[in-house]
Amino acid sequence: MSLRRNVFSYAVIIPFTIVLAFPFFWMFVTSLKSETQVFDPTKTWNFHPSLHAYGYLFHHTKYVTWIENSCFVGLLVVLITLAVALPAGYALARLSGRVGRTLGIAIFLTYLVPPTLLFLPLSRVVAQYLHLSDRLWALVVVYPSFTIPFAIWLLMGFFKTIPQELEDAALVDGCSRFGSLVRIVLPISLPGILTVVIFTFSLVLNEFVYAITFISSSANRTVAVGVYTDLIRGDLYDWPGIMAAILIPSIPLALIYNAFLNRFITGFTGGAFR
Window 165 to 224, contacts with other proteins (CB under 8 A): 176-178, 202, 205-206, 208-209, 212-214, 216-219, 223-224
Nearest approach, Cβ of 187 to other proteins (angstroms)?
Answer: 18
Does the protein bind other proteins through residue 255 (CB under 8 A)? yes
Does the protein bind other proteins through residue 28 (CB under 8 A)? no
Give the three-state DSSP class for 86. Answer: helix
Nearest approach, Cβ of 125 to other proteins (angstroms)?
Answer: 6
Q: Which of 32, 53, 57, 62 touches other proteins by CB under 8 A?
A: 62
Nearest approach, Cβ of 5 to other proteins (angstroms)?
Answer: 6
Which one, 32 or 122, has the nearer CB to other proteins?
122
Q: Report the C-alpha gap between 239 and 36 in whole angstroms.
A: 10
Q: Among 46-54, 104-112, 182-190, which window interacts with other proteins (CB under 8 A)?
A: 104-112
Q: Which of 72, 166, 249, 272 touches other proteins by CB under 8 A?
A: 249
Q: Report the C-alpha gap between 242 and 27 in whole angstroms.
A: 9
Could you give the maximum distance between any two Cα atoms of the chain, in Å? Answer: 77
Q: Report the C-alpha gap between 136 and 214 in whole angstroms.
A: 8
Contact 94, 162 (CB under 8 A): no
Does the protein bind other proteins through residue 102 (CB under 8 A)? no
Does the protein bind other proteins through residue 50 (CB under 8 A)? no
Does the protein bind other proteins through residue 120 (CB under 8 A)? yes
Nearest approach, Cβ of 11 to other proteins (angstroms)?
Answer: 8
Would the CA dihedral through 102, 107, 113, 114 be positive or negative? negative
Of 225-244, binders to other proteins (CB under 8 A) are 225, 227-230, 232-237, 239, 242-243
Nearest approach, Cβ of 87 to other proteins (angstroms)?
Answer: 4
Q: Which of 77, 122, 184, 193 touches other proteins by CB under 8 A?
A: 122
Nearest approach, Cβ of 79 to other proteins (angstroms)?
Answer: 13
Angle, alpha carbons 62-23-247 (nearest 5°): 25
Would the CA dihedral through 44, 48, 49, 50 be positive or negative? negative
> What ranges in the chain are assigned the alpha helix state H?
2-31, 52-60, 63-90, 98-109, 115-124, 136-142, 144-161, 164-172, 177-180, 186-188, 190-206, 209-214, 223-230, 239-268
Q: What are phi and psi of 154, to 5 degrees?
A: -60, -50
Nearest approach, Cβ of 68 to other proteins (angstroms)?
Answer: 14
Contact 257, 180 (CB under 8 A): no
Q: Among 46-54, 105-113, 182-190, which window interacts with other proteins (CB under 8 A)?
A: 105-113
